[in-house]
Amino acid sequence: MDEDKKEISLENFEERIGVHFNDKRLLCQAFTHRSYINENKECKLGHNERLEFLGDAVLELVITDYLYHTYPSKPEGELTSLRSALVNTVSLQRVAKSLEINGNLYLSRGEAKDMGRAREYILANAVEALIGAIYLDQGYDKAKDFIERFISIRTEEIERKKLWVDAKSFFQEKAQEKESETPVYRVLKEEGPDHDRHFTCGVYLKDELIAEGEGQSKQEAEQEAASEALEKKGWK
């Protein structure tokens, strides 16, 4: 995509989300992956990792505040699980796809060809970076408004489908009930630089690999492995 088309695409994106940036460079940076900078040394923008760091903190605060006031009778444990379900990679990449962020990403040629799990993490991170950019450009209230319109709104669906239920706990409960076994989790692969680690974990019953999961932390990879194992076992 040439730069003129990219600029038009970003203008259309601003219309879609109802946020018109004062500093357009912040929006561009939110969608700029490290790989693009590595491949385009002349690029004057930075990559989006610092914005992602900031946006993650703003997102967690807004969602925590929202859940605290929306569910005054829920205990801390349930609120924590709900928050996790709203801000995890699966949830955020779905938000990214609904907003058609993929077409606005600045990626290296190699990353642009990869449409697998790696792209889902890039999309989820771009949502956090976008929140960070909105916060810097227009302040907390505008960032909060964006989060409530596109992320908090998923709470009802997560409640209805019980997507907030801790998959590891549920799989352990079912495994002990049906097979008298306790699941064991093992790291199968660990790759990437320190600032961007990627884990693949497997969940085992009686030394049999039941399912694998991926994530940017061991906990996230284990949760996904447990969720996949529930599917495979038909225990959902």
Q: What is residue 1's predicted lDDT score, i.e. its pLDDT? A: 43
Domain shared by 107 and 207, yes or no? no
**CATH number of the domain encompassing residue 68:** 1.10.1520.10
**CATH number of the domain encompassing residue 193:** 3.30.160.20
Domain shared by 105 and 220, yes or no? no
Tokens of 61: 């605060």
- E-strand ranges in the chain read 184-191, 198-205, 208-215
For 20-70, the DSSP string reads --SSHHHHHHHTB-HHHHHH-TT--S--SHHHHHHHHHHHHHHHHHHHHHH
Q: What is residue 20's predicted lDDT score, i.e. its pLDDT? A: 95
Which residue, 137, 160, 183, sits at the end of a domain? Answer: 160
CB neighbour list of residue 40: distance below 8 Å, 6 or more residues apart: none
Domain shared by 142 and 173, yes or no? no
Q: What is residue 189's predicted lDDT score, i.e. its pLDDT? A: 93
Q: What is residue 220's predicted lDDT score, i.e. its pLDDT? A: 81
Domain shared by 58 and 86, yes or no? yes
By residue range, what is the domain housing residue 17?
3-160
Q: What is residue 191's predicted lDDT score, i.e. its pLDDT? A: 87
Consecutive sets of 10 residues in the chain, 236 residues long: mean pLDDT of each? 60 94 95 91 88 97 97 91 87 93 90 76 95 98 98 88 76 94 96 80 96 86 89 88
Q: What is residue 219's predicted lDDT score, i.e. its pLDDT? A: 83
Domain shared by 138 and 21, yes or no? yes
Which residue, 114, 134, 160, sits at the end of a domain? Answer: 160
Domain shared by 47 and 63, yes or no? yes
Query: Domains in the chain: how many in total?
Result: 2
Q: What is residue 235's predicted lDDT score, i.e. its pLDDT? A: 86
Domain shared by 112 and 72, yes or no? yes
**CA atoms of 101 and 125, how far apart (whole Å):** 11
**CA atoms of 150 and 187, how far apart (whole Å):** 33
Domain shared by 10 and 69, yes or no? yes
Q: What is residue 195's predicted lDDT score, i.e. its pLDDT? A: 67
Q: What is residue 119's predicted lDDT score, i.e. its pLDDT? A: 85
The DSSP output letter for 235 is -
193-213 b/e (C-beta count within 10 Å ≥ 16 → b): eeeeebbbbbbbbeeeebbbb
- Give me the active site residues, please: 56, 128
Which residue, 104, 137, 160, sits at the end of a domain? Answer: 160
Domain shared by 114 and 198, yes or no? no
Q: What is residue 95's predicted lDDT score, i.e. its pLDDT? A: 95
Domain shared by 87 and 179, yes or no? no
Domain shared by 100 and 137, yes or no? yes
Domain shared by 38 and 146, yes or no? yes
Q: How many CB atoms lie within 10 A of CB 102?
A: 17
